[in-house]
Structure 1
Amino acid sequence: MRKWLVPGIIVFFIVILYFWAKGINNTAVEMDQASQEAWGNVQTSYQRRNDLIGNLVNTVKGAADFEKSTLEAVVKARSEATKTTIDPSNITPEQLAEFNKAQSGVSSALSRLLVTVEQYPDLKANQNFLKLQDELASTENQILTARTRFNESVKGYNSHIKKFPNSVFAGMFGFKEKAFFNAVEGAEKPVEVKF
């Protein structure tokens, strides 16, 4: 009986270690998938905004004397923003900064467009334009919510893989820290609106 005691204890600890490592890995996989899903929701929100911008620009084009340069800036910013793509399984701070910069260009161009619209009473009264403007405001709120949820999922994932001893197993299994979605540079300054 004693000759089986030592191998039995060794097997017992190997089984315990296996299930422990398996739990760490499986939790990290679930959290990684959740952060990838959250990133997909961020991209979906931005895609909705890009789709609305096309409709908004076409509605504004109907105002014959509208400033062409403002429309061109919005279309160009939208085009630049759609070119920037990120692999959700390996988001780096640099990729996220580039994506954020492209999206802030869209936000800035849209702000200029909406401020310029104030000079056109017929356009401001247009029901299609008003509906699009409301949908755009709603979409901006969806973007904020999606970005917040993405950061929450990244926080949970990063915390899980950085805690000891999870960090040892996470490194062995190839899990890497993900970047948070941060505000663009200068976002802390108030926006100056001129009419």
Structure 2
Amino acid sequence: MEIYFVIGALVLLAAYVLLSYNGLVNARNTVEEAFSTMDVYLKKRWDLIPNIVETVKGYAKHEQDTLENVVKLRNSAYDRMSQDDKIAVDSQMTGALSKLMAISESYPDLKANQNFLDLSAQLARVEEDIANSRKYYNAVVRNFNNKVQMFPSNMISAVFGFKAAKMFEAAESEKENVQVRF
């Protein structure tokens, strides 16, 4: 009778390990899929940037610092970046693009330029897609990290080498209060 109890306990333990491992693999694959989805939108924005910079260049010749910063960020080899590098560059790129779009407010001719209007509309759509994909990515990362860090599945994740994933976070400059003056 005792042997059946031991065998039953071992079967239950093996089933738990198998189910936990498969749950961790499933969660990790969901994180990778969510990042890949977001990566498509980040790449789309990446490809829009040279067109926007060229359009702005013709109007804002004395805004070289901002333009050079955007170009410098854009000249990184996107396809060779790691996931963490893409997250870091995205944060910098978001700030640089905000400054670039703010420049357009100072140039009425630029704001009226059809090419700039089309590119701005495309960028706005891509930014919305990026924001939505970041939300989804962070939600699946949270679920994965919970599995990796919470007891008892944390023991299985430690044995099989699962590590917590990094979430997308707003840059410090994006967290500052916006000054509105009338």
What TM-score, normalized by structure 2, do the two folds share?
Answer: 0.83
Q: Is residue 2:19 matched to residue 1:32?
A: no
Q: What does residue 126 of structure 2 align with?
A: 139
Q: How far, CA to CA, are the matches of 1:119 and 1:185 in structure 2?
A: 25
The one-letter code of the counterpart of 1:124 is: K
Show CA shifts across 1:5-52 (max 9, x none). 333333222222211111011011000110111122222221111111
The one-letter code of the counterpart of 1:45 is: Y
Q: What does residue 37 of structure 2 align with?
A: 41
Q: What does residue 115 of structure 1 align with?
A: 102
Deviates more, 1:156-165 or 1:132-141: 156-165
Structure 1: which 5+ residue stretches go unaligned?
88-94
Q: How far, CA to CA, are the matches of 2:53 and 2:68 in structure 1?
A: 9
Q: What does residue 160 of structure 1 align with?
A: 147
CA contact (8 A) 1:77 1:102 kept: yes
Q: What SS does the corresponding residue of 2:124 show, helix, strand or coil?
A: helix
- CA displacement at 1:104 relative to structure 2: 3.0
The one-letter code of the counterpart of 2:9 is: F
Q: Is residue 2:170 matched to residue 1:183?
A: yes
Cα RMSD, aligned residues only: 2.7
The one-letter code of the counterpart of 2:105 is: E
Q: What SS does the corresponding residue of 2:151 show, helix, strand or coil?
A: coil
Deviates more, 1:75-84 or 1:150-159: 75-84
- CA displacement at 1:83 relative to structure 2: 7.8
| Seq. identity, % | 34
Q: How far, CA to CA, are the matches of 1:167 and 1:65 in structure 2?
A: 54
Show CA shifts across 1:135-180 (max 9, x none). 1111111111111111111111111222222122221122122222
State the aligned residue count.
180
Structure 2: which 5+ residue stretches go unaligned?
none
The one-letter code of the counterpart of 1:133 is: S
Q: Compared with structure 1, are the counterparts of its residues 185 and 100 closer, same or farther at alpha carbon in structure 2 (3 Å cutoff)?
A: farther
Q: Compared with structure 1, are the counterparts of its residues 114 and 65 closer, same or farther at alpha carbon in structure 2 (3 Å cutoff)?
A: closer
Q: Is residue 2:158 matched to residue 1:171?
A: yes
Q: Is residue 2:6 matched to residue 1:10?
A: yes
Show CA shifts across 1:99-153 (max 9, x none). 5443233223222222222333332222221111011111111111111111111
Q: How far, CA to CA, are the matches of 1:180 and 1:84 in structure 2?
A: 20
Q: What does residue 116 of structure 2 align with?
A: 129
What TM-score, normalized by structure 1, do the two folds share?
Answer: 0.78
